[in-house]
Amino acid sequence: MNYIDKLTYPILLGLSLFTFSNSIAQKSISKKINQESTKTSIVSYEKYIDDNNDRHIKEFLELVSIPSISSIPTNKPDVVKTATWIVNKLNSIGIINAKQLTTDGNPVVYANWDKAPGKPTVLIYGHYDVQPVNESEWDNPPFSPIIKDGKIYGRGASDDKSGVITAICAIEAILKTDGKLPVNVKFLFEGEEEIGSPNFKKFLENNKELLKTDFAVTADDIQDSETDPAITLSLRGAAQLEFTVKTANSDAHSGQFGGKTPNSVLIMSQIISSLYDKVGNVAVEGFYDKVLPITAAQKEMMKRIQYDPTTDMKILGTTAEVGDPAFTPQERIWYRPTLEIIGMQGGYTAAEGHSNIIPSHAMARITCRLVNNQNGQEIVDLIVKHIKKQCPAGASVSFKYRPGYASPMQYPTDTKGYQYVADALTAVYGKQPLQMATGGSGGAMLSFKETLGVYAYSLGFELPDEKWHASNEFFRLSSFRKGQQVYCYFLQHLAEEESKLK
Amino acid sequence: MNYIDKLTYPILLGLSLFTFSNSIAQKSISKKINQESTKTSIVSYEKYIDDNNDRHIKEFLELVSIPSISSIPTNKPDVVKTATWIVNKLNSIGIINAKQLTTDGNPVVYANWDKAPGKPTVLIYGHYDVQPVNESEWDNPPFSPIIKDGKIYGRGASDDKSGVITAICAIEAILKTDGKLPVNVKFLFEGEEEIGSPNFKKFLENNKELLKTDFAVTADDIQDSETDPAITLSLRGAAQLEFTVKTANSDAHSGQFGGKTPNSVLIMSQIISSLYDKVGNVAVEGFYDKVLPITAAQKEMMKRIQYDPTTDMKILGTTAEVGDPAFTPQERIWYRPTLEIIGMQGGYTAAEGHSNIIPSHAMARITCRLVNNQNGQEIVDLIVKHIKKQCPAGASVSFKYRPGYASPMQYPTDTKGYQYVADALTAVYGKQPLQMATGGSGGAMLSFKETLGVYAYSLGFELPDEKWHASNEFFRLSSFRKGQQVYCYFLQHLAEEESKLK
């Protein structure tokens, strides 16, 4: 049985109120999803979750304290240490075959609980690597996490160690309560998500049989708010590039040489400025060629989300929104591509001191978010062409490619996988999930579909204000509890519904 | 007797070939300046210099090894340590009243040898503070100096610890050979030249009597090449400024917020680009208002210097010269003002890693070189006004002022001070010094004239390729020897000539 085919699920269930007019329409769910048996189990799992909360928080802090920064090669031992930590944790709850599988990059943590023969298999994806840090900007050291006001502060607390620990602790609750799981479960935690999952697709292809599954969820995802559940139906792609402008072999005395010597920071600034037009669109030729118009269905979906421009502005402390006024800010985040300079440095920039030099070289890093048919490699090629063209006499430009471009991704809603996730969120939050897009990317998501034939639906509990990638990242302990509840409900409910289909 | 008045010196000497058609014209010096007595003394000083060369080089290395970076507050102990080192060195050669004098900033090293009553006094200026370093760019650690191929490599080796040690070792040679000096000598080594001598003028004013002198030279200056002596007759002024563009309170996830969130690095790049017009002139309104046309005399002076564009380009490894083609590169360096971005940073720029953020703030530092009637404060005000005007909605800009603006400076050539320096250089190099301008600045130079009534002529031996302010700075040991010879000759010659005037 192919569990991910476009579904006759509602019909099989005999729930006449399900209508699938189009793949992204919000569903009206009226059936009693809280079957009595599921409800009863959930109560006992909740007791386990609460009884073990202090220990789990300690473990959460331990996990966050390991600086598994995948983009910094010298942190590789910490990346491996984190994978080992997760393997040990899985072993400790009774999943004894947990192990690290090698890839061309960082290891993948894999574990398999397969003692429910005849039952479907659910694969839970997450990532244990984290973004780098600007240590000086953190109120508390990023890898010495603390609990404050019901939140855990530290790098990766939200993105995505919250996902890893929430899923594992939920499984622990079921295993320790019932002595077994209602379905077969596979864990797959990768260590290169934050660098674009460059080796993940190949890993999936090489391990197709091992990873075979009926359903998949990603623990690296978001809800709309503490009280509003959501399911992500659209991800932007991502592509990144670093380049350096060089004007001389060494910095020059600004007096001795100033007036005839090219300045790498000025030239870099001019190149960066040339990447945008006046309204804030990307001025790279061909950048928008494969971007499609926003569809009526997408517009419909956006209408259902209450967009308040002040919410994000409050989170960030911004005072204005920028971008092409031909699109709403929400459209620009969800369905339009971007090109951002994520960092730039040239010359003497130590905190103190003033060195009177003409800088010989300047470096900048770019990240693009892509949509529709935009291809990471093609976009990088266009940007390289643009920058080369802009580079004036007296300067040369070199590029550092960072492979691992994520493709844009769309999810259907007329699948059983979608419905089980929606049911679980509805049960725990007491309201139906919003259907959302996100401006973020998930390099692995398209690979799941292409390689294993499953959509990995969002079952993560990060919230938009939790400063992913930024300083002072945090995660709510309330989400930690709620997340475990949802996972428990999801597996139990999926098992029951699937058994009815037999 | 006022030794620095515009001079009747050549007439008194009866040297009819001196003509002072204008204050910057190159002089034809035909008199036999190498008087026999001076020559004899010089030979014995040279013997002392050579006999003690190894020890002096050791001391030079010691001096360079102390990181007296004046622009970094935490290096203050090293700044004081360097001042103490110099005081000890002066004590050791018999100048027992050497001491540190306090200023509102770093101490000034002062010493006075006054045992030549009735003889004129010569004040020797230099500075013992140094520029900061980009440590990773040095082939050898900047404060663990080494000797290689007849050069000493280290921060400050050329600018200006070479000047300090050369002058002191020359005085040592005379004192140890003759038991006395031919004139009275005052040493004045400041510790804030690299931050624009912000407290130096006040120090001079407060110590006018103590510092009273007939002649002055600066040991912080250059020659044209190893074989071509030069005297600097024009310095540009300098003014500096730091500013920060802020768009948010924290960096933002480039996916979650990218498309509507202002990017501080982009805005900084646009502001920097706006500071220049298309030909490379400064686009700040009013920037050139007080710049005077280049005079015929200045053009005449430039003609005498063989300008080879490839020389500087080889030193730096640049591939093109930039700037307004209405002026020659030499004119642009000597007589036109500049605005250079000396450093810029924003976002995630650690050597490794790739952080997908929209940077919340970006910082840039500016140094201007000024000419003619340009005033540092006025220029900074104009730049601040320009930047504020360019700062768009969604961003704010803040400024960090770095006081200590150096005024532009011109030296006359029709003074005895000029002539004695020229004579000494001619004697040692075997050819007359070139009259030069420099694009550099010397904050203290105008203060000498205004406060003590003397011009401090250039008597330094730095060479243009010695990477002042840049990485891998060095100084030639051949210049160390030649410099000591010139100082010995200069003092001996000055004493003899002045005694004739009595």
Q: What is the DSSP string of B48-90?
A: HHHHTHHHHHHHHHHHHTS--BTT-GGGHHHHHHHHHHHHHHH
Nearest to A256 among B240, B320, B464 (CB): B464
Q: Which residues of A223-238 are buried (b: 16+ CB within 10 A; e: fewer)?
A: bbeeebbbbbbbbbbb
pLDDT for the residue A304: 84
Q: How far is it, in rounded angstroms, from Cα B39 to Cα B61?
A: 30
Residue B285: other Cβ atoms inside 10 A: 12
With 90 as the cut, is the pLDDT of residue A377 above it? Answer: yes
Q: How far is it, in rounded angstroms, from Cα B249 to Cα B254?
A: 15
With 80 as the cut, is the pLDDT of residue B147 above it? Answer: yes
- For residue B226, the distance in angstroms to the closest alpha carbon of chain A comes to 17
With 60 as the cut, is the pLDDT of residue B62 above it? Answer: yes
Between chains, do A131 and B355 touch, taking CB under 8 Å as contact?
Answer: yes
Question: Which tokens in the block code for residue B277?
Answer: 């017009």
Q: Bridge-partner residues for A437, per DSSP?
A: A234
What spatial distance separates the first Cα and last Cα of chain B, rounded to whole Å? Answer: 10
Question: Which tokens in the block code for residue B65?
Answer: 């090894």
CATH code: domain B238-308+321-401 is 3.30.70.360
Mean pLDDT, residues A250-268 taken together: 94
3-state secondary structure of B112: strand
User: Which class is B9-235+408-501 in CATH?
Assistant: alpha beta
Q: Which of B260, B281, B341 to mutate to test the interface with A (most CBs of A within 10 A)?
A: B260
3-state secondary structure of A230: strand
Q: How far is it, in rounded angstroms, from Cα A19 to Cα A378?
A: 39
pLDDT tens readout for residues B409-419: 999 999 999 99
With 90 as the cut, is the pLDDT of residue A484 above it? Answer: yes
CB contacts of B471 in chain A (<8 Å) are 250-251
3-state secondary structure of B468: coil
CB contacts of A341 in chain B (<8 Å) are 263, 265-266, 269, 346-347, 359
Q: How far is it, in rounded angstroms, from Cα B473 to Cα B455?
A: 28
Q: How far is it, in rounded angstroms, from Cα B496 to Cα B31?
A: 14
Question: Which tokens in the block code for residue B489?
Answer: 């000759």
Most confident of A14-18, A28-32, A134-138, B482-486: B482-486
CB contacts of B348 in chain A (<8 Å) are 132, 134, 342-343, 365
CATH code: domain A237-291+337-401 is 3.30.70.360
- The DSSP code for A223 is -
Helices (H), A212-346: 264-274, 296-304, 309-316, 329-335
- For residue B370, the distance in angstroms to the closest alpha carbon of chain A comes to 10
Between chains, do A365 and B342 touch, taking CB under 8 Å as contact?
Answer: no
pLDDT for the residue A97: 94
pLDDT for the residue B425: 97
Between chains, do A342 and B320 touch, taking CB under 8 Å as contact?
Answer: no
Percentage of residues in chain B with pLDDT exceeding 90?
Answer: 79
Between chains, do B354 and A71 touch, taking CB under 8 Å as contact?
Answer: yes
Q: Who wins on pLDDT, B18 or A296?
A: A296
pLDDT for the residue A10: 28
Residue B354 CA from chain centroid, whole number: 40
Q: Letter for the amino acid at A256?
A: Q
Nearest to B132 among A194, A348, A369 (CB): A348
Question: Which tokens in the block code for residue B324?
Answer: 């307004």
**Burial bucket for residue A261 (CB in 10 Å: 0-12, 13-18, 19+):** buried
One-character DSSP codes across A76-107? HHHHHHHHHHHHHHHHHTT-TT-EEE--SSSP
Residues of chain B with CATH 3.40.630.10: 9-235+408-501
Between chains, do B240 and A318 touch, taking CB under 8 Å as contact?
Answer: no
- Asked if A344 and A365 count as a contact pair (C-beta separation under 8 A), the reply is yes
- For residue B265, the distance in angstroms to the closest alpha carbon of chain A comes to 7
Between chains, do B250 and A316 touch, taking CB under 8 Å as contact?
Answer: yes
CB contacts of B73 in chain A (<8 Å) are 352
pLDDT for the residue A35: 59
- For residue B283, the distance in angstroms to the closest alpha carbon of chain A comes to 13
Between chains, do A367 and B356 touch, taking CB under 8 Å as contact?
Answer: yes
- Asked if B257 and A321 count as a contact pair (C-beta separation under 8 A), the reply is no
Between chains, do A248 and B131 touch, taking CB under 8 Å as contact?
Answer: no
Q: Who wins on pLDDT, A266 or A38?
A: A266
Mean pLDDT, residues A230-247 taken together: 95
Q: What are the phi and psi torsion angles at B48 (to 5°)?
A: -60, -45
pLDDT tens readout for residues B307-339: 888 888 998 999 999 999 999 999 999 999 999
Give the total residue count for chain A: 502
Mean pLDDT, residues A370-390 taken together: 97
Specify the DSSP element, H or E, that contains B387.
helix B376-390
- For residue B411, the distance in angstroms to the closest alpha carbon of chain A comes to 18
Q: Which of B136, B193, B245, B253 to mutate to test the interface with A (most CBs of A within 10 A)?
A: B253
Q: How far is it, in rounded angstroms, from Cα B107 to Cα B192?
A: 9
pLDDT tens readout for residues B383-437: 999 999 999 999 999 999 987 788 899 999 999 999 999 999 999 999 999 999 8
- CA-nearest residue of chain A to B262? A322
Least Cα distance to A295 among A375, A403, A187, A371 occurs for A371
Q: How far is it, in rounded angstroms, from Cα B496 to Cα A354?
A: 44
Q: Letter for the amino acid at B372?
A: N
Between chains, do B348 and A69 touch, taking CB under 8 Å as contact?
Answer: no
- For residue B55, the distance in angstroms to the closest alpha carbon of chain A comes to 31
Residues of chain A with CATH 3.30.70.360: 237-291+337-401
Q: Which residues of B163-194 are buried (b: 16+ CB within 10 A; e: fewer)?
A: bbbbbbbbbbbbbebeeebbbbbbbbbbbbbb
- CA-nearest residue of chain A to B340? A358
- Asked if A239 and A367 count as a contact pair (C-beta separation under 8 A), the reply is yes
Residue B171 CA from chain centroid, whole number: 22
CB contacts of B67 in chain A (<8 Å) are none
- For residue B235, the distance in angstroms to the closest alpha carbon of chain A comes to 9
pTM of the predicted model as reported, rounded to 2 decimal places: 0.82
With 90 as the cut, is the pLDDT of residue A138 above it? Answer: yes
With 60 as the cut, is the pLDDT of residue A214 above it? Answer: yes
- For residue B363, the distance in angstroms to the closest alpha carbon of chain A comes to 8
Nearest to A247 among B318, B348, B359 (CB): B318
Mean pLDDT, residues A55-72 taken together: 97
3-state secondary structure of A164: helix
Nearest to A258 among B365, B439, B472 (CB): B439
CB contacts of A354 in chain B (<8 Å) are 71, 132, 195, 240, 242, 342, 365, 367, 402
pLDDT for the residue B125: 97
pLDDT for the residue A438: 87
Between chains, do B272 and A276 touch, taking CB under 8 Å as contact?
Answer: no
Between chains, do A254 and B469 touch, taking CB under 8 Å as contact?
Answer: yes
Nearest to B255 among A317, A352, A369 (CB): A369
- Asked if A137 and A200 count as a contact pair (C-beta separation under 8 A), the reply is no
CB contacts of B365 in chain A (<8 Å) are 347-349, 354
- The DSSP code for B383 is H
Count the helix, strand and coil residues of chain A and give each as a percent rounded to the nearest 5. Answer: 35, 20, 45
Residues of chain A with CATH 3.40.630.10: 9-15+34-235+409-501
CB contacts of B74 in chain A (<8 Å) are 352
Helices (H) and strands (E) in chain A, counts: 15, 18
Between chains, do A71 and B319 touch, taking CB under 8 Å as contact?
Answer: no
ipTM reported for the complex, 2 dp: 0.82
Between chains, do B260 and A321 touch, taking CB under 8 Å as contact?
Answer: yes
At residue B28 the predicted structure's pLDDT band, cuts being 50, 70 and 90, is very low
Question: Which tokens in the block code for residue A233?
Answer: 């139906």
CB contacts of A263 in chain B (<8 Å) are 340-341
Question: Which tokens in the block code for residue A59?
Answer: 């473990």
Q: How far is it, in rounded angstroms, from Cα B444 to Cα B340?
A: 22
pLDDT for the residue A308: 85
CB contacts of B356 in chain A (<8 Å) are 131, 194, 238, 240, 342, 367, 469
- For residue B402, the distance in angstroms to the closest alpha carbon of chain A comes to 9
Q: How far is it, in rounded angstroms, from Cα A435 to Cα A80?
A: 36
pLDDT for the residue B483: 98
Best CATH choice for the domain A9-15+34-235+409-501 from the list 3.90.1280.20, 3.40.630.30, 3.30.70.20, 3.40.630.10: 3.40.630.10
Between chains, do B365 and A348 touch, taking CB under 8 Å as contact?
Answer: yes
- For residue B295, the distance in angstroms to the closest alpha carbon of chain A comes to 18
Four-CA torsion A325, A328, A329, A331, nearest 10 degrees: -120
Maximal C-alpha separation, chain B: 84
One-character DSSP codes across B160-228? THHHHHHHHHHHHHHHHHHSS-SSEEEEEEES-GGGT-TTHHHHHHHTHHHH--SEEEESS-B-SSSS-
A/B interface, count of CB pairs below 8 Å: 354
- Asked if B90 and B79 count as a contact pair (C-beta separation under 8 A), the reply is no
Between chains, do A255 and B369 touch, taking CB under 8 Å as contact?
Answer: yes
Q: How far is it, in rounded angstroms, from Cα B413 to Cα B436?
A: 11
With 70 as the cut, is the pLDDT of residue A36 above it? Answer: no
Q: Who wins on pLDDT, A326 or B4?
A: A326
CB contacts of A347 in chain B (<8 Å) are 341-344, 365
